[in-house]
Structure 1
């Protein structure tokens, strides 16, 4: 796979890139700050075109300098702007310079009670930037609490004040600004990707501030995020002379009595994701459901009337997906044991297949290398135990992937794909409307379609999670987030592929 784009760097690395850009562009620090502020204001006014009044809370470091520059630029655009600054013992040179350039309303405060936010005023948080490495205390902590009590919308500049760029496990959550929207400079922060930090970050977008491309390319990182351009770039296009034989033959083991919807959803998703041939292995008594609901699928029936108990012939398949709706009956556990002793090919593990692995941990050592595991957080917890926080869970994901040489797709708002070797890719497509039953079944089918067609497991995971979320985003734009359902996401996969195949 070609070098991955869309890196996420640690805050110390970004600071080094700032310094490199200043030295090698060359550009003065105050001018780099001006460029960042100008680009931020441009995006801010596009996002909030009807906002007229702004109150900026500026610190005494460079984030405060960004705040003063943003205040001046907003005022030049005809906005009503004023600035509060917590009392300080000294300012950074660039903050002091931008403070001197600001000619509007300004008050240095010695107590949070001196701040009052007007009705209809947007609060811009520019107190602390990404260089913060400790809990916030004293006056600044009181200011943050006052901001958080206000009903006014809050915009954070670069990072919500008080939030650390990576690990917040020992932070004081009461002294972190709760932003509605964050305009972050050049790269998202790793902390933005973790569910526990959403109350502080809100929605976010990256503002390009023109850091030197040379240094960006040369700095190593283990963290990346997915985007439409990236996924479109790694998605293979169907070839003119492709046929069902070259597009692979996948086996889906899914469903039991009362749970056949999982099999139907996953089957339809696989067929809409490029698979050449799909065989569905279902309990004998449930065979008619699949035959009627998914006529494109080949049918393979189990020895058992009611659940999965084993597969007789595996030679013809290029990939297998197992788990949606299969239950945990003793026959099913034995069937998975048998499968693990006979099959070493590409495999996708989901739902009850993961729960069976968790309850029979000795089976994990039999996992085929390069398997794809697609747990939601609770299923992953069953596999490895509880995590104290989301940052600790990231480490556990890497340890598990390394130990068993597998890829993990941890599902959530920013689904993360983890590879052996400790590299992480965070998804940026999808919406809260996907928090409904059946969505994981659809993803399993999408992944089976991609892996069966010969796309390597890692690329299949990246492409699959992004396209799955994109299909849900398209549906939400048409029917609202509440109107999103798994069946219609399956039906809408083609719209996502059409965009990504451009």
Structure 2
């Protein structure tokens, strides 16, 4: 799913009006009607007090359309206009007149805190104060209104975006942003719904189709894309009846040190479970029995050193190499890494201490093959690109880093973002159970295993992150967040693949069959 910028949404509105020969007022009516339909379907006429707070721009106009339709449908509605400026949009004024024609209970103008209505916890707040065009901090009165929303404990529904939240820059004052329980977003969700610092401003979101021009939606290229099942499924590589392991590549996993052989074991097993035809682990001698016992499906090559990797020398030709898990940053290991990079011709996936060594000796970055995949957690990313001021600054720095070295960067987190060629691929799978030791090692193995089979490194990164999160989503149903282990992610990877081909109805039936009889 494309994540459109505010400039693109404005352009889409204009193109839609021109091509469909409708006015901006008619488009606003369409948007407000969609919000009404969404609410009416769920409330079915229930007489819970609904407080609709409208700004004086187009977002407020959407709110007035909604309030008018709720009134006409017989709902218990109180409408308020947040009188924060003398400038009113044309379409706001049109709909202000229209609502006055259907009710004697005209919208109440709010000028200061003394005007704020009493809101009970069981009431509903509709936030239509500011839209995507906001570009300045809100004034004190509006900030106090948003605080009033929160202290009321009432359910808050935001239209398009929580008021006070910018689409393209960081929040400077949390009190100046509505904390929405749900956001109905027009045309596409907003990137800020998925960033660590701003995702908290809406608990849930849903996209409403307001009939923007289909050609515009389909042909417009966006900086960011939201990745779900429908986005990854077309990239799935089918296997033929007469396929054999030689067709699915040979992955080499290089890593491990004394006391950290579990990381290599997890990565190697994940690479095999992701579909690599062959996997070889290159490890220090101390891990030989561990790997051969824990993972009999993998082959093993050992370093001359017993406790750490000090030289990287092998006589195989791997399709792809996963490097860095559990390897440490000893000077001898770093020297071996540099020597390896100078002679390596295989695609690379680098994680953990591999990234730490690159951060320590940044001249090594120039030795990376184009489209090398880096999978840092936040602290490793900071070592690599330096500190950042906020999430937007972080994304800009990662894009610049990716472009400079022609690498793919997976920013791991609640919505992991894969960055390459100035494009952001925002993942939708995963849960807090992934915050566990070894989770990143499994992701490295999955991506490595996918590249081994012939997936392009960008596709492998996007697909691997999706599968990693989906396996955790399936596993957590049995284990819960606290008890989810990295090995469980691998155990459920097969179900994540199978889930790609399940229709929603099949998933519901399967879930119902698994539920115990009451």
The two structures share one fold, judged by TM-score above 0.5: yes
Q: Determine the structure 2 residue equivalent to 1:455.
A: 455
SS in 2 for 1:348: strand
Distance 1:163 1:226, change over 3 A: same
Paired residues of 2:158 and 2:183 also in contact (CA < 8 A): yes
Does structure 1 residue 96 correspond to structure 2 residue 86? Answer: no
Distance, in Å, in 2 between the alignment partners of 1:280 and 1:77 is 67
Does structure 1 residue 24 correspond to structure 2 residue 19? Answer: yes
After the TM superposition, which of the residue ranges 450-459 and 109-118 deviates more from structure 2?
A: 109-118
Task: Specify which of 8, 13, 19 is matched with residue 13 of structure 1.
Answer: 8
After the TM superposition, which of the residue ranges 483-492 and 133-142 deviates more from structure 2?
A: 133-142
Give the Å deviation of 1:344: 2.3
Q: Determine the structure 2 residue equivalent to 1:446.
A: 446
Paired residues of 2:121 and 2:152 also in contact (CA < 8 A): no
Paired residues of 1:109 and 1:115 also in contact (CA < 8 A): no
SS in 2 for 1:182: strand
Give the Å deviation of 1:35: 2.8
Distance, in Å, in 2 between the alignment partners of 1:380 and 1:51 is 51
Paired residues of 1:12 and 1:131 also in contact (CA < 8 A): no
Distance, in Å, in 1 between the alignment partners of 2:33 and 2:176 is 28
Distance 1:84 1:478, change over 3 A: farther
Q: Deviations over 1:12-67 (max 9, x none)?
A: 22111111111211333333223323333444567789994432211121111222
Paired residues of 2:284 and 2:302 also in contact (CA < 8 A): yes
Does structure 1 residue 476 correspond to structure 2 residue 471? Answer: no
Q: Determine the structure 2 residue equivalent to 1:63.
A: 59
After the TM superposition, which of the residue ranges 14-23 and 324-333 deviates more from structure 2?
A: 324-333
Does structure 1 residue 284 correspond to structure 2 residue 281? Answer: no
Task: Specify which of 167, 182, 185 is matched with residue 169 of structure 2.
Answer: 167
Correspondences of 1:359-374 after superposition (within 5 Å):
359-374=360-375
Distance 1:73 1:289, change over 3 A: farther
Distance, in Å, in 2 between the alignment partners of 1:260 and 1:75 is 66
Distance, in Å, in 1 between the alignment partners of 2:248 and 2:73 is 56
Paired residues of 1:178 and 1:200 also in contact (CA < 8 A): yes
Correspondences of 1:46-195 after superposition (within 5 Å):
52-74=48-70, 79-87=75-83, 89=86, 91-99=88-96, 100-101=98-99, 103=103, 106-113=107-114, 114-168=116-170, 171-195=172-196
Distance, in Å, in 1 between the alignment partners of 2:242 and 2:450 is 18
Q: Deviations over 1:371-393 (max 9, x none)?
A: 00001121111012111111111
Distance 1:493 1:41, change over 3 A: farther
Give the Å deviation of 1:337: 1.4
Question: Which sections of structure 2, spanning at least 5 residues, go unmatched?
Answer: 503-518
After the TM superposition, which of the residue ranges 375-384 and 51-60 deviates more from structure 2?
A: 51-60
Number of aligned positions between the proteins: 495
Q: Deviations over 1:184-209 (max 9, x none)?
A: 11112232232111232333232222
Distance 1:104 1:327, change over 3 A: farther
Q: Determine the structure 2 residue equivalent to 1:228.
A: 229
Distance, in Å, in 2 between the alignment partners of 1:110 and 1:51 is 28
Paired residues of 1:51 and 1:122 also in contact (CA < 8 A): no
Paired residues of 2:120 and 2:152 also in contact (CA < 8 A): no
Distance, in Å, in 2 between the alignment partners of 1:366 and 1:282 is 22
Give the Å deviation of 1:396: 0.8
Distance, in Å, in 2 between the alignment partners of 1:137 and 1:93 is 23
SS in 1 for 2:251: strand
Q: Determine the structure 2 residue equivalent to 1:198.
A: 199
Distance 1:136 1:499, change over 3 A: same
Distance, in Å, in 2 between the alignment partners of 1:77 and 1:258 is 68
Q: Determine the structure 2 residue equivalent to 1:3.
A: none
Q: Deviations over 1:303-349 (max 9, x none)?
A: 12112223322542100001121122223212211211121220000
Distance 1:304 1:80, change over 3 A: farther
Distance, in Å, in 2 between the alignment partners of 1:463 and 1:439 is 16
Question: Which sections of structure 1, spanning at least 5 residues, go unmatched?
Answer: 1-5
SS in 2 for 1:328: coil
Distance, in Å, in 2 between the alignment partners of 1:104 and 1:346 is 70
Alpha carbon RMSD of aligned pairs, Å? 2.3
Give the Å deviation of 1:478: 4.2
Distance, in Å, in 1 between the alignment partners of 2:328 and 2:465 is 24
Distance 1:406 1:173, change over 3 A: same
SS in 2 for 1:327: coil
Give the Å deviation of 1:75: 5.2
SS in 2 for 1:469: helix
Distance, in Å, in 2 between the alignment partners of 1:237 and 1:352 is 34
Give the Å deviation of 1:415: 1.0
Distance 1:139 1:339, change over 3 A: same
Give the Å deviation of 1:418: 1.0
SS in 1 for 2:180: coil
